[in-house]
């Protein structure tokens, strides 16, 4: 398998603890290079710099990626920057997939209610003019720790068909 650079899209404030459980899984750490991961202070600094600074940061982080993984929590579909990341990823030709993370525990030990699929708010047409719908998996019930590498590779294959 060739080296892949993966971009993770998610609701930072609400889901960063759950996201870290996915990003720090052995499969991700051993097989994929990730886009830079900001801490809260860096993210706040970029946001304070304005929308163009956020767009520029996202665009630079997407550079060289082959897949975008949207980690779907309770409010992910409501985040404008998540939609920007999805749109830019599609324009770049990235594979797209979603992984629901609501049933991972937060820092205080609680799971969350499922959120809406943000891909349902987008309309993607493949190179043949057919409607394209990215696959969505559940990290817990579909054993993400074991299967995430296959999901990423499948998303890239799906996009390149």
Give just the sign of the alpha carbon dihedral 21, 44, 92, 117.
positive
Given a contact cutoff of 8 angstroms between Cβ atoms, the answer to whether 126 and 132 are in contact is yes
What was the pLDDT predicted at 45? 84
Q: Which residue has the tokens 């990626």?
A: 65
Environment class of residue 69 by beta-carbon count within 10 Å: exposed (0-12), middle (13-18) or buried (19+)?
buried
Lowest mean pLDDT among 2-6, 16-20, 110-114, 133-137: 2-6
Tell me how crowded residue 39 is: count the other CB atoms within 10 A of its CB: 9
What is the pTM assigned to this prediction?
Answer: 0.91
pLDDT of residue 31 exceeding 80: no
Range of the domain at 113: 4-160
Distance from C-alpha of 38 to C-alpha of 96, rounded to nearest angstrom: 21
Distance from C-alpha of 69 to C-alpha of 98, rounded to nearest angstrom: 6
- How many domains are there within the chain? 1
Distant-in-sequence, close-in-space partners of 4: CB < 8 Å, separation ≥ 6 = 31, 32, 33, 66, 67, 152, 153, 156
What was the pLDDT predicted at 67? 94
pLDDT digits (tens, 9 = 90+) for 127-145: 888 899 999 999 999 999 9
More confident residue, 47 or 82: 82
Instruction: Give me the CATH number covering residue 124.
Output: 3.40.50.450
What was the pLDDT predicted at 140? 96
pLDDT of residue 59 exceeding 60: yes
């Amino acid at each position: 398998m060739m080296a892949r650079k993966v971009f993770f899209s998610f609701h930072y404030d609400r889901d960063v603890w759950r996201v870290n459980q996915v990003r720090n899984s052995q499969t991700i750490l051993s097989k994929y290079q990730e886009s830079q991961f900001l801490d809260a202070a860096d993210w706040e600094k970029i946001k304070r710099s304005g929308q163009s600074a956020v767009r520029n940061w996202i665009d630079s982080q997407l550079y060289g990626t082959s897949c975008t993984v949207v980690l779907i929590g309770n409010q992910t579909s409501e985040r404008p920057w998540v939609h920007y990341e999805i749109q830019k990823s599609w324009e770049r030709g990235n594979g797209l997939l979603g992984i629901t993370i609501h049933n991972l525990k937060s820092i205080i030990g609680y799971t969350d209610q499922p959120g809406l699929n943000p891909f349902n708010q987008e309309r993607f047409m493949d190179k043949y003019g057919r409607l394209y719908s990215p696959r969505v998996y559940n990290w817990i019930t579909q054993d993400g720790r074991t299967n995430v590498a296959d999901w990423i590779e499948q998303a890239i294959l799906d996009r390149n068909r």
